[in-house]
Amino acid sequence: MTDEISFEDFQRVDIRTGRITRAEPFPEARKPAYRLWLDFGPALGERRSSAQITEHYTPDDLVGRQVLAVVNFPPRQIGPMRSEVLVLGLSDADGAVVLVAPERAVPDGARLH
């Protein structure tokens, strides 16, 4: 059983669509990961993140892709990089991360309702 939260708690989590504009290997990370730059549209601009998504994606696969990310967590230092958003994903049957993305194209920066 999971802990219940109120709808107001959920509304405080700001989940938005971002478009990956740049992706590169992150060799300084403890586990295999990529450095990502995401465009969240004019209101939020570009933000950076680190993601352990190397099992299913290459940097070239990622550029141009829309994904969902939490944009209102405090920044976190990951090795030499400051991660500003948390890109969302789900584990497949083998434990590798699959990115969460909108079914259809939406404006960059659109908020999850």
1 pLDDT higher than 80? no
Give 77-100 pLDDT, tens digit per residue.
999 999 999 999 999 999 999 999
Give 39-54 pLDDT, tens digit per residue.
999 999 999 999 999 9
Q: State residue 2's pLDDT score.
A: 77
With 0-12 / 13-18 / 19 or more C-beta atoms within 10 angstroms meaning exposed / middle / buried, residue 91 is: exposed
Q: Locate tokens 């990622």: which residue?
A: 62
Give 100-111 pLDDT, tens digit per residue.
999 999 999 999
CA 104 to chain centre: 17
Where do the domains of the chain lie, and which CATH numbers do they carry?
7-99 (2.40.50.140)
